[in-house]
Copies of this chain bind each other. A is one copy, B any other.
Amino acid sequence: MISVALIGFGNVNSHLFKAFLQAEDVRIAQVFNRTKIDAEELSGIPFTSDFAEITDADVYIIGTSDSAISEVSNALKFENRLVIHTSGGVAMDRLNAKNRRGVFYPLQTFSKNKEVDYQTIPICIEAENDDDFALLKNLGKQISKVVHPINSEERAKIHVAAVFVNNFVNYCYLVGKEILDENELPFDILSPLIAETAHKIEALTPFEAQTGPAKRNDRNTIKKHLNLLKNPNHRQLYELMTEMIRKKFE
């Protein structure tokens, strides 16, 4: 049985909380958060908002905003325990060295009120020593089938790549919706296309899966599209993307 204390209760830690509650060999010893959490949400797990009252646990999981991770790790009152964070964009050594350090980064996008299937989420783990690494690996296996050893440098690269395939992809959806909204057309007409575009990538590489006027260098269609785009942002993004795709495939 691995006992964990969750420090902070944002998107990642609140999803981890649910996953750990269902895991066989994990006990959530305590949740710490600066502000109170609904009793219902805590499902009977002890809560504190006082750093001095943080309880004993095998591992302390800091799930705050990236910018608060260092500060929170400094504020912990104990030493030589295993303290980890869950961020893709923060190196392990940003944690205070008075404790043993590690990272437990679930590579997924979390939104409050949107359940995810933890079993398929890659967990990227890192630790300063072998025993802690083994513990984190074990903890990862409790909630997911996919656990990868990933160091801070690699994780930083993965995090940038994730920004492209998640944040920037979502922004493309947003632009698509804006174009349809302007013309009072329903966004859900694009749903099967969006699903298939993502699905395709499981069978083909993105290079093989690329289609469209930019790839074909179909200047007529490109010109027509640029004329249709009224929003200068949409036009600018269309031009840059088209130019990059065109060059990639010429």
Contacts and interface: CB of A to CB of B under 8 A. Distances in A.
Q: Classify the interface of chain A: helix, strand, loop or mixed.
A: helix
A196 B119 CA distance: 13
A168 B241 contact: yes
A219 B150 CA distance: 24
A212 B67 contact: no
Contact of A213 (B163, B196, B214, B236): B163
A172 B180 contact: no
Given A224-B156, A240-B237, A111 B211 contact: yes
Size bracket of the A interface = 35 or more
Interface in A124-173: 124, 146, 148, 150, 154, 156-173
Counting every copy of the chain, the complex holds 2
Given A148-B189, A218-B66, A201 B183 contact: no
A91 to B, nearest CB: 9
A95 to B, nearest CB: 16
B198 A176 contact: no
A210 to B, nearest CB: 5
Interface string A190-220: 1111111111111111111111111100101
